[in-house]
Structure 1
Amino acid sequence: MSTVFSSTGQLLAAEGMDLGRTDWLLLTQERINLFAEATGDHQWIHVDPQRAATGPFGACIAHGYLTLALANLFMPQLMQFENLAMGVNYGSDRLRFPAPVKVGSRIRGHGQLVRVEMQGQAVQAVVRMSVEIEGSERPGCVVDTISRYTFNPLEQ
């Protein structure tokens, strides 16, 4: 269940909040193959199931950047906005890939609102997103995402 923010003040007050976890997502070979097509990264550890079965991971694994990109899929499951004039992705910090994500794994996002501050008329929010792998102690990806939100003025 996502947290809904409708004003700058609400978002500022939520600094430090654990945003919870998303639903599980099954990572399929089809998703990995589509990412390989989109990026041109056809390395065998991602797209060749027969060869990958005898490789270091025992199966195909997701591209690290695919795992990172899924943070964008998970974010709206954790945070929703009302009364928003505009929101933009500003960047990211502290990107790590602690564990490989094997094809057939179930993954989910876990978010924490680690820092919130004003940047001009916008409020900048840093969400630490961990892409958890079912049955693994280590996540597939941890990234501090940075977004900027501009809310419409609240009516009096």
Structure 2
Amino acid sequence: MAQAFNSAAAVQAAVGQDLGTTDWLAITQDRINTFADATGDHQWIHVDPERAKDGPFGKTIAHGYLTLSLANLFLPQLVEYQGLKMGVNYGCDKVRFPSPVPVGSRVRGHGVVVAAEPVKGDGVQVTVRVTVQIEGSDKPGCVVDTISRLFF
């Protein structure tokens, strides 16, 4: 269940707060292929299961940027902003891909509010660290500090 915030002050007070985890999401070959089609990245380690069997990972793996894009799917499951007039994606910091995400694995998002600073007009710039965890793995598939500007 998403953590709810209803003001810039509430977001600022949440620095350091653990937002919990999302439900698990299966990484299918269809999802990988769809991402490959959308981005034009058809490298064999992502889209050729037969060739990938003999590759460095033993099977296809999700694109790093596919794994990163899941932050957008996971954020609304982690945090809800009530009474928001407008929110915009301001960017990302410190994107890392510590471990490949193999096809057939399950991932979930874990969130922590790492920073929140006021911005003009009753707004707040919030940084939420999203860690894309891989079921059964000690290393995550992605860690990203997402930055949003919110106006209440």
TM-score between both structures, scaled by the size of structure 2: 0.98
The structural deviation recorded for 1:38 is 0.3
Alpha-carbon distance in structure 1 between the residues aligned to 2:26 and 2:85: 33
Query: Are residues 1:148 and 2:149 paired?
Result: yes
Structure 1 unaligned segments of length 5 or more: list them: 152-156
**TM-score normalised per structure 1:** 0.95
Q: Counterpart of 1:84?
A: 84
Is there any run of 5+ residues in structure 2 with no aligned partner, and where?
none
Q: Which residue of 2 aligns with 1:60?
A: 60
Q: Percentage identity across aligned positions?
A: 64
State the alpha-carbon separation in 2 of the partners of residues 10 and 94 from structure 1: 25
**Superposition RMSD in Å:** 0.6
Residue identity opposite 1:127 in structure 2: V
Q: Distance in 2 between matches of 1:37 and 1:13?
A: 42
SS of 1:143 mapped into structure 2: strand
For residues 3 and 111 of structure 2, the distance between their equivalents in structure 1, rounded to whole angstroms, comes to 11
Task: Please state if 1:130 is matched with 2:131.
Answer: yes
**Aligned match of 2:105:** 105
Inter-partner Cα distance in structure 2 for 1:8 and 1:116: 9
How far apart are residue 78 of structure 1 and its match? 0.4
Query: What is the letter of the counterpart of residue 82 of structure 1?
Result: Q
Q: Which residue of 1 aligns with 2:31?
A: 31
Output the CA distance in 2 between the equivalents of 1:77 and 1:43: 31
- 1:8 CA drift (Å): 1.1
User: 1: distance between equivalents of 2:65 and 2:34?
Assistant: 13
